[in-house]
A and B are shown apart, each in its own frame.
Chain A
Amino acid sequence: EDQVTQSPEALRLQEGESSSLNCSYTVSGLRGLFWYRQDPGKGPEFLFTLYSAGEEKEKERLKATLTKKESFLHITAPKPEDSATYLCAVQVVRDTGKLIFGQGTTLQVKP
Chain B
Amino acid sequence: DTGVSQDPRHKITKRGQNVTFRCDPISEHNRLYWYRQTLGQGPEFLTYFQNEAQLEKSRLLSDRFSAERPKGSFSTLEIQRTEQGDSAMYLCASSRSGGEAFFGQGTRLTVV
Task: List chain A positions with a Cβ less than 8 A from chain B.
Answer: 4, 6, 34, 36, 41-46, 49, 87, 89, 96-104
Cross-chain contact A46 with B102 (CB below 8 angstroms): yes
Closest Cβ neighbor of A98 among chain B residues: B45
Residues of A within 8 A of B45 (CB): 98-100
Contact between B48 and A101, CB atoms less than 8 A apart: no
| Interface-centre pick from B6, B35, B48, B100 (highest chain A CB count, 10 A) | B100
User: Please, could you name 17 A-B residue pairs with CB atoms under 8 Å apart, sorted by A?
Assistant: A34-B100, A34-B101, A43-B104, A44-B91, A44-B103, A46-B100, A49-B100, A87-B43, A96-B50, A96-B55, A97-B31, A97-B95, A98-B45, A99-B43, A99-B45, A103-B42, A104-B42
- Answer whether residue B15 sits at the interface, using C-beta atoms and an 8 A cutoff: no
Given the interface pairs A34-B100, A49-B100, A98-B33, the reply to whether A44 lies near B43 with Cβ below 8 Å is yes
Q: Is B95 within 8 A of A43, CB to CB?
A: no
Main secondary structure of the interface of B (DSSP, over half): strand
Smallest Cβ-Cβ distance to A10: which chain B residue: B40
- In angstroms, Cα B30 to Cα A97, docked, is 12
B93: A residues at CB distance < 8 A: 43, 99
Which parts of B3-32 form the interface with A (CB within 8 Å)?
4, 6, 31
Q: Which of B40, B41, B55, B103 contacts A43 (CB 8 A)?
A: B103
**B108 in contact with A99 (CB, 8 Å):** no
Given the contacts A41-B108, A49-B100, A97-B97, A103 and B40 also touching, CB distance less than 8 Å: yes
User: Within the complex, what minimum Cβ distance (angstroms) separates B84 from chain A?
Assistant: 20
Residues on B with C-beta less than 8 A from A103 are 40-42
